[in-house]
Amino acid sequence: MSPDSTLGSILFDLGSGQWDIPALRELLGTMAPSKTTLDGFEVRHDFPGLGERVMILNARTIVYDDGATSTILLTCRYVTNSRLIEAQRAELLDKAEDLLRQKDILLHEMEHRVANSLQIIASILMLKARAVTSEETRHHLQDARQRVLSLAAVQSLHASEGIDRIEFSTYLEKLCSSLGASMFGEGQSIEIRVIAQAGSVESARAVSLGLIVTEPVINAIKYAFPADSEGSVVLVTYEINGPDRKLVVSDNGVGKPSGGPPKKVDSGPSSSRLWWTSSACRRN
């Protein structure tokens, strides 16, 4: 359309009538009598020879001094390309989200399978440890089993949470529960109690800390309570103080006297303590 063919012409007659859009005609027809405004009205229209175009229309009714004459000021902004880009972007986002969902499903399935496999390995190691006659071999098998249990607990939490960091208090409870289930096979009445503040740690560090906790817990179960009695407790506590963490394994058993055979004591539980700073300090 040239300026000469545009000036003084009715909008709907411009060119070959490509602006004679029913939605636009109806909209502008209601503006003049009511003196309303139009903001951000989106029009999609298939123009002959051009294809579909998307436009954002804004309009104002202009009333002249005599109060009887009015015209409509209409602005048109083409947004075809930006809308096309937005549609493509939305489609790509949908595909990306679908791929992420598929990845999460496969990852969770794999982690469940790994956790189950580790539990099976731990059970086999326990059976082998009970069957061998060599005390040294039994110790190595039991040590390997506890490492597998520690790793299995982390894998189980990964399968439920799906993150690179895990809640350490939940991990401690799960680990100690597994240790108790594997150690209390002879009617022992020992309670493993966990008191831990909520806080997450990297999964790799959780495995290392789990191995550290496993050793004193097993020793307490084996040696702290030579006589079965009610109220026997192995206590695992985890405290957070700013960047510092404190992990304590204690028991109310017989303790370790300086000489002679162990004797039952009423006070002063034995304990193992571990302090470390947060990962930002790069110290253990």
- Mean pLDDT across the stretch 1-15? 82
Closest CA to 182 of 141, 137, 135, 224: 141
- pLDDT at position 95 over 60: yes
Answer whether 27's CB lies under 8 Å from 38's CB. Answer: yes
Please report which confidence band the pLDDT of residue 279 belongs to, taking 50, 70 and 90 as the band edges: very low
Within 8 A by CB and 6+ apart from 95, the residues are none
Sign of torsion over alpha carbons 4, 7, 13, 15 = positive
pLDDT above 80: residue 76: yes
The model's pTM: 0.46
Amino acid residing at 38? L
Written as six digits, the tokens of 192 are: 């493993």
Integer Cα distance of 17 and 31 in angstroms: 21
Average pLDDT estimate for 262-280? 50
Q: Where are the beta strands (DSSP E) in the chain?
A: 37-47, 51-63, 70-78, 165-167, 190-196, 200-202, 232-241, 244-251, 270-277
Mean pLDDT on 42-61: 82
DSSP-assigned beta bridge partners for residue 109 = none
Determine the straight-line distance between the first and last CA of the chain, rounded to whole angstroms.
77
CA 40/CA 76 separation, integer angstroms: 10
- Distance CA(250)–CA(267), nearest Å, equals 12
Residue 208 is predicted with a pLDDT of 80
Compare 240 and 181 and report the one with higher pLDDT: 240
pLDDT at residue 236 in the model: 92
Q: Tens digit of pLDDT for each residue in 96-152? A: 998 888 887 877 777 777 777 777 887 888 888 888 888 888 888 877 877 777 677
Least confident of 10-24, 141-155, 267-281: 267-281
Distance set, CA 11 to CA 6, 56, 72, 73, 239 (Å): 8, 16, 11, 11, 76
**Coil vs helix vs strand at 170:** helix
What pLDDT is attached to residue 280? 35
Three-class HEC string of 87-109: HHHHHHHHHHHHHHHHHHHHHHH
**Average pLDDT, integer, range 193-209:** 84
